[in-house]
Copies of this chain bind each other. A is one copy, B any other.
């Protein structure tokens, strides 16, 4: 099976956004054993959009279109595909209810153009949009398969996983031996070092295959095999997983595609432990990540963002002498990180108190360089651990890397 991905949107051709949808879908299609030979980007233009669809339907079996299904006049994807297939469009009743409810709930008047978001091509399967308004479409026509997905990645990704992929498996991929995959997740290690540690395994791989890739400060290894049954696949995948884990026991935090904060919340829930945090330069990012995990409320009780020195003193009892004065270590110091962690743990009466203080940039602070960060983990009845980080990157990457680093160290402590 060959697929082609067509991303629709003038904003892509103007370079206002990057076509991450093509990457996402390419990875997903690869795991289904589908080859992608071309990715195309075309603007919100009826003629060129139809040209692209025609070309793709000549050279691929599966054509995935992303974007151009919103409410406005320049959202033309469904119209273009319908015209190319010589089919009509109609309003899908369930999709229309979904759109209408959105406005009713908000008590906002629905403008007429929003009805376009409920349009589907005659004879197609509507793909409900769980995180947005515009309905997707899936249909087969003269031996080719067409899938229409929304442009915003937050809508496109869930719709692909929950709607389009099952549809493809049922309609287009019935003869293929299915591919089964496991995702193994690693922290505290870079992609190249991980690949080095797994080199023998990777070079001798044939079945299952091993594919490492890096993503936002974490490394994922996907192991995949074709098999006639899930049971058969799992035997092969589990054996390889054990081998990989034995080579990297201090870094593999999960079997399954979960972030490390989820692994931490799960572990601490089992252990009946609680957690709090005090953040300076990360401004809430650590707590935001932890509370992004559903069910984190039993583990994470609360915390304090002490962005100014004043708040470090007032809310977290950091001694003034540590913060200011000729010989004071200053806010960005191991001493202050330690006090912050211990104080937030005591104030909230939790088992662990986390703390972060550093220079995220772009300007230096206290004559300390951008990227110097101290992180601390205070544990009830234990000595507080403090770590110095020297990070590179811009403000955003320094903040993200700080949080990843602290979460990795916390995981190492609680996993033992």
Decide if A272 is an interface residue (CB 8 Å cutoff). Answer: no
CA–CA, A305 and B291, complex, Å:
10
Question: When each residue 10-21 of chain A gets 1 if its CB lies under 8 Å from chain B and 0 otherwise, what string results?
Answer: 111111111110
A38 cross-chain contacts in B, Cβ below 8 A: 13, 40-42, 48, 52
- Whether the Cβ atoms of A307 and B315 lie closer than 8 Å is no
A52 cross-chain contacts in B, Cβ below 8 A: 38
Decide if A248 is an interface residue (CB 8 Å cutoff). Answer: no
A18-B19 contact given A37-B48, A113-B196, A285-B288, CB 8 Å threshold:
yes
- Whether the Cβ atoms of B301 and A307 lie closer than 8 Å is yes
- Whether the Cβ atoms of B39 and A19 lie closer than 8 Å is yes
Decide if A390 is an interface residue (CB 8 Å cutoff). Answer: yes
Q: Which of A305-364 contact B (CB under 8 A)?
A: 305-308, 310-311, 314-315, 347-348, 361-363
Q: How many copies does the complex hold?
A: 2
- Whether the Cβ atoms of A302 and B308 lie closer than 8 Å is yes
A102-B37 contact given A26-B12, A70-B214, A305-B302, CB 8 Å threshold:
no
- Whether the Cβ atoms of B294 and A113 lie closer than 8 Å is no
A390 cross-chain contacts in B, Cβ below 8 A: 105-106
Q: Which of A346-398 contact B (CB under 8 A)?
A: 347-348, 361-363, 390, 392-397
- Whether the Cβ atoms of B113 and A195 lie closer than 8 Å is yes
Q: State how many residues of chain A have any CB contact under 8 Å with chain B.
A: 102
Q: Which of A398-416 contact B (CB under 8 A)?
A: 399
Decide if A266 is an interface residue (CB 8 Å cutoff). Answer: no
Most-contacted residue by chain B among A23, A191, A314 (CB, 10 A):
A23
CA–CA, A222 and B14, complex, Å:
11
A285 cross-chain contacts in B, Cβ below 8 A: 284, 288
CA–CA, A55 and B288, complex, Å:
46
Decide if A208 is an interface residue (CB 8 Å cutoff). Answer: no
- Whether the Cβ atoms of A308 and B301 lie closer than 8 Å is yes
Closest 4 CB pairs of A and B: A283-B291, A284-B284, A15-B26, A302-B311
